[in-house]
Structure 1
Amino acid sequence: MNILIISSNNTGSGHKSIAEALLEQFDKLENVNAKVIEGFDTNGTLGNTVSKSYGFLTRRARVLWKAVWNISLKKPELIVKITERTMEKNFLKVLENEKPDLILSIHPNFNASVLNILYRNGYNIPFVTLIADLISITPLWVDKRANMIICPTDEAKKRCINFGADGSKIEVVKFPVRSRFYSSKHRNDIVISDKPENALKFLLMSGGEGVGNLGSIAEILLENFNCNVKIVAGKNATLRNKLQNKYSAKYGEKLEVYGYVTNVNKLMDNVDILISRGSPNVLMEAVASNLPTIITGELLGQEEENSYYIEKNKLGILCSDYNNLKTSVEELVKDDGKLINDIMKAQRQYRDVDSAKKAVDSIVKLAIEASQNEQYTDKIG
Structure 2
Amino acid sequence: MTKNILIISSDNTGHGHKSITESICEKVRKNHDVKIHVIDGFSMGGQFLMNIGKSYGPITRMSGTLWKMIWHFSSLKPSLVNQFIESQIKNDFLQLLDEVKPDLILSVHPNFNGSVINILEKQRIKIPFVTLIADLVNIYPLWADKRADYIISPTVEARDKCIEFGIPAENIKVSGFPVRSRFHRDTGNFILKKGTPLKCLIMSGGEGVGNMQNIAKNLLDNFDCTIKIVAGRNAKLKAKLEQTLKSRYGDKVEIFGFTKNIQDLMFDSDIAFTRGSPNVMFEAIASNTPIIITGALPGQEEDNPAFAEKYNLGVVCKNANEIKSIINKLLANNGEKLNDIKTCQRKFINSHAAEDILQLLLQVEDRSYETAAVPSYS
Verify same fold: TM over 0.5: yes
Q: Which amino acid in the other structure matches residue 280 of structure 2? A: V
For structure 2, the 5+ residue unaligned runs are 370-378
Runs of 4+ in 1 over 4 A off after TM superposition: none
Distance (whole Å) between structure 1 residues aligned to residue 121 and residue 59 of structure 2: 34
Secondary structure of the equivalent of 1:37?
strand
1:142-153 alignment to 2 at 5 Å? Answer: 142-153=144-155
Query: Quick check: 1:27–1:34 contact (8 Å CA) kept in 2?
Result: no
Distance (whole Å) between structure 1 residues aligned to residue 259 and residue 81 of structure 2: 32
Secondary structure of the equivalent of 1:297?
coil
For structure 1, the 5+ residue unaligned runs are 376-381
Counterpart selection for 1:84 from 60, 83, 86: 86
1:188 aligns with 2:188: yes
1:9 aligns with 2:7: no
1:111-150 alignment to 2 at 5 Å? Answer: 111-150=113-152
Deviations 1:95-124 (A, max 9, x none): 111111000000000100000000101110
Secondary structure of the equivalent of 1:370?
coil
1:1-381 alignment to 2 at 5 Å? Answer: 1-183=3-185, 186-192=186-192, 194-195=194-195, 198-366=196-364, 369-371=365-367, 374=368
Distance (whole Å) between structure 2 residues aligned to residue 279 and residue 364 of structure 1: 29
- 1:379 is matched with none
Distance (whole Å) between structure 1 residues aligned to residue 176 and residue 223 of structure 2: 35
Q: Which amino acid in the other structure matches residue 114 of structure 1? A: V
Q: Which amino acid in the other structure matches residue 305 of structure 2? A: S
Q: Which amino acid in the other structure matches residue 313 of structure 1? A: Y
CA drift of 1:189 comes to 2.3
TM-score (norm 2): 0.95
Secondary structure of the equivalent of 1:164?
coil
Distance (whole Å) between structure 2 residues aligned to residue 203 and residue 15 of structure 1: 23
- 1:378 is matched with none
Distance (whole Å) between structure 2 residues aligned to residue 158 and residue 31 of structure 1: 34
CA drift of 1:194 comes to 4.9
RMSD after superposition: 1.2
Q: Which amino acid in the other structure matches residue 357 of structure 1? A: E
Secondary structure of the equivalent of 2:366?
helix
TM-score (norm 1): 0.94
Q: Which amino acid in the other structure matches residue 36 of structure 1? A: V
Deviations 1:159-186 (A, max 9, x none): 1011121211100000000000112xx4
Greater relative contact order (Cα 8 A, min sep 6): structure 1 or 2? 2
